[in-house]
């Protein structure tokens, strides 16, 4: 490897330098404090695990995004976490094993073998919150409200939210008796809003169900979409009507809590279809081509760990949150330059200053006073009348 190449980082892998790293850390603490104020308990999950544990209950997407290695001690295949959500679900189902609802939150680096999008980071800092043990729309409203409170804390401007429910398509496709292959093809066509393909794939379906499946292509937009859906899906199977009622109830409560929030609906939105089981949601901002925060309901994720539990939650990339947010992050500025000395009284004074929250930087042997400016020191400790005093740094 040439010397110049030794400093290159892989595509999508970045290092964070001061002061940006400090801003990210301050934001992390603020958001986790917010989560704690809502009753969410912080958990820390392993960076690497045996692959069968890491991918249990997850879809093929996660498998493709997971870096895999062989453990030299056991010879078993391991993976670096690409998503913390399944790990937290295991903690709830297998480790904590609480009977009632459980609220957990997390923040940590993840690693992606493949980026989510062309310009996406492969080393985001995933931050999120999960609520287990309650299947009602109230839980969905709570986690969505917490997500929006997080975005307000970061002062991310011009957000709008998309809301959907995978149960609508799932209920219609099951009632239509679609084979697995046709259901997958129809799923792909709906994501592309390819109406001609949707029509062709539903030709053998009973006319009423075919009409409902085809209607999903156009059931996207503002609140008027829900009015149209109530009419177009009036004769749908009971699970579909229940899913639509959930969307209506959630939208009504969110509009009351966040009256300025633009809400959009896409009843053909199947993001995470093979993972989510109910409502799905995502937040977008102008100029960013992908969701900046997303989540949904994923009931029974703990079944593979021996305990099925209703679950709903969301996640975001902390680095993206800090980049887009306008919130002022107060970083420590200035500092005190401590001379290189063995004086015990100086050491006691420095300890006192640091305990008061002051930033004190010690000069190393041979460093001139001018070096204090390079480390953002604007004051210095000098000996006056036998006492160490803080005074402005000489210009």
102 inside domain: yes
Sign of CA dihedral 5, 9, 10, 12: negative
Last residue of a domain, one of 264, 283, 302: 283
- Flag whether 48 is in a domain: yes
| Residue 3 domain-assigned (yes or no) | no
In a shared domain, residues 185 and 247:
yes
Residue where one domain finishes, among candidates 331, 349, 365: 331
- Please choose, from the candidates 314, 321, 317, the residue with its C-alpha nearest in 3D space to the C-alpha of residue 140: 314
Decide if 289 is inside a domain: yes
**What residue numbers bound the domain in which 246 lies?**
160-283
Residues 20 and 46 reside in one and the same domain: yes
Name residues of the chain where pLDDT drops below 70: 1-4, 57-60, 395
Q: Identify whether 301 is part of a domain.
A: yes
Question: Residue 313 is part of a domain; what is its CATH number?
Answer: 3.30.930.10
- Please report whether residue 1 resides in a domain: no
75 and 114, same structural domain? yes
209: preceding bond cis by omega (within 30 degrees): no
In this predicted model, what pLDDT tens digit does every residue of 126-154 receive, in sequence order? 999 999 999 999 999 999 999 999 999 99
Same domain membership, residue 214 and residue 127: no
If phi > 0 it is left, if psi is from -120 to 50 it is alpha, else beta; for residue 235 that is alpha
> Is the same domain home to 201 and 310?
no
Predicted local distance difference test score (pLDDT) of residue 225? 95
The single-letter DSSP state of residue 92 is I
Establish if 5 belongs to a structural domain. Answer: no
Distance (Å, rounded) from C-alpha 97 to C-alpha 144?
24
Same domain, 129 and 178: no
- The radius of gyration computed from the CA coordinates of the chain, to the nearest angstrom, equals 27
Same domain, yes or no: 152 and 292 = yes
DSSP state string for 238-254: HHHHHHHHHHHHHHHHH
What is the torsion angle, in degrees rounded to the nearest 10, for the CA atoms of residue 257, residue 258, residue 260 and residue 262?
-120
The pLDDT assigned to 7 comes to: 85
Same structural domain, 297 and 325: yes
Residue 293 shares a structural domain with residue 357: no
**Strand spans (E) along the chain:** 41-42, 48-50, 68-70, 77-80, 102-109, 125-132, 160-165, 220-221, 263-266, 279-284, 293-297, 311-317, 336-338, 360-362, 379-384, 387-392
Note the pLDDT tens digit of each residue in 100-120. Answer: 999 999 999 999 999 887 778
Determine the pLDDT at residue 15: 95
Contact present, 333 and 121 (Cβ < 8 Å)? no
- Whether 293 and 190 have beta carbons less than 8 Å apart is answered as no
* pLDDT of amino acid 271: 75
Residue 134 lies in a domain: yes
Tokens representing residue 144 in the block: 């969505």
How far is residue 295's CA from residue 144's CA, in Å, rounded to a whole number? 8
Same domain, 164 and 266: yes
Q: Residue 296: CA atoms inside 13 Å, Cβ hemisphere, count?
A: 26
**Quick one: pLDDT at residue 59?**
64
- Based on the structure, what is the number of domains in the chain? 3
Q: Between vectors from CA 35 to CA 32 and to CA 38, what angle results, nearest 5°?
A: 155
Q: Which residues pair with 317 in a beta bridge?
A: 126
Nearest to 130 by CA among 104, 99, 98, 94: 104
Query: What pLDDT was estimated at residue 269?
Result: 79
pLDDT of residue 1: 53
Q: Are residues 278 and 170 part of one domain? A: yes
Please check whether residues 217 and 271 belong to one and the same domain. Answer: yes
């Amino acid at each position: 490897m040439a010397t110049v190449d030794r400093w290159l980082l892989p595509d999508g892998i970045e290092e964070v330098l001061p002061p940006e790293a400090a801003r990210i850390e301050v934001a992390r603490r603020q958001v986790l404090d917010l989560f704690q104020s809502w009753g969410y308990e912080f958990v820390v999950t392993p960076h690497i695990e045996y692959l069968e544990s890491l991918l249990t209950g997850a879809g093929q997407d996660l498998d493709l995004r997971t870096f895999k290695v062989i453990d030299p001690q056991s010879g078993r295949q391991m993976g670096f976490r690409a998503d913390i959500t399944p790990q937290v679900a295991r903690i709830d189902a297998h480790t904590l094993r609480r009977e009632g609802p459980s609220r957990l939150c997390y923040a940590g680096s993840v690693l992606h073998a493949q980026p989510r999008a062309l310009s996406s980071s492969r080393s985001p800092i995933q931050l999120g919150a999960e609520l287990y043990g309650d299947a009602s729309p109230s839980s969905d409203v709570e986690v969505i409200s917490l997500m929006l409170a997080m975005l307000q804390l970061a002062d991310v401007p011009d957000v709008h939210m998309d809301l959907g429910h995978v149960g609508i398509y799932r209920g219609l496709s099951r009632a239509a008796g679609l084979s697995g292959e046709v259901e997958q093809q129809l799923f792909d066509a709906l994501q592309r809003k390819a109406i001609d393909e949707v029509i062709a794939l539903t030709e053998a379906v009973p006319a009423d169900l075919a009409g409902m499946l085809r209607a999903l292509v156009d059931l996207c937009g503002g609140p008027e979409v829900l009015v149209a859906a109530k009419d177009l899906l009036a004769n749908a199977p009971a699970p579909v009507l229940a899913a639509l009622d959930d969307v209506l109830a959630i939208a009504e409560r969110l509009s009351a809590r966040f009256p300025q929030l633009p809400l959009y609906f896409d009843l053909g939105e199947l993001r995470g279809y093979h993972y989510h089981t109910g409502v799905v949601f995502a937040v977008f901002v102008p100029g960013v081509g992908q969701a900046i925060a997303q989540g949904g309901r994923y009931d029974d994720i703990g079944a593979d760990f021996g305990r099925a539990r209703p679950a709903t939650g969301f996640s975001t990339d902390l680095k993206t949150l800090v980049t887009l947010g306008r919130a002022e992050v107060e970083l420590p500025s200035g500092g005190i330059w401590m001379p290189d000395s063995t004086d015990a009284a100086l050491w006691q004074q420095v300890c006192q200053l640091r305990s008061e929250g002051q930033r004190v930087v010690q000069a190393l042997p041979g460093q001139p006073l001018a070096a204090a400016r390079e480390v953002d020191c604007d004051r210095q400790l000098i000996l006056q009348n036998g006492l160490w005093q803080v005074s402005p740094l000489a210009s």
